[in-house]
Amino acid sequence: MLYTLNGIFFKVHNELGSFCREAQYCDAIEKIFIERHIPYKREVRISRENDLSKNNSNRVDFIVGNRIIIEVKARRLVGREEYYQV
């Protein structure tokens, strides 16, 4: 599955280039998931099990096969803020 996902990411990047928005990359990835019948959920809220408040929950871009979390970033360099988010 990881090789398949890697191929999808390279395909999307090669087709769209380097200067699109995150949502455009996510839309293109989702289209391929649908075409290839890859099970996924998009923009899923997750939180830590021991955290009772909803304020600390994060949203991930994709969960594939209920096992793999995908967080799409459309930046040239990933900074501290993006690192901590992931």
The string of pLDDT tens digits covering residues 4-24 is 999 999 999 999 988 889 899
CA dist., res. 30 & res. 62, Å (int): 9
pLDDT digits (tens, 9 = 90+) for 58-73: 888 999 999 999 998 8
Question: C-alpha angle 76/43/23, rounded to 5°?
Answer: 40
Domain count, the chain: 1
Cβ(56)–Cβ(6) below 8 Å: no
DSSP for residue 71:
-
- Consecutive H or E run containing 42: strand 40-46
What domain range is 54 assigned to? 2-85
Q: What is the pLDDT of residue 31?
A: 96
Q: How many residues does the chain have?
A: 86
Q: Is the pTM of this model over 0.85?
A: no
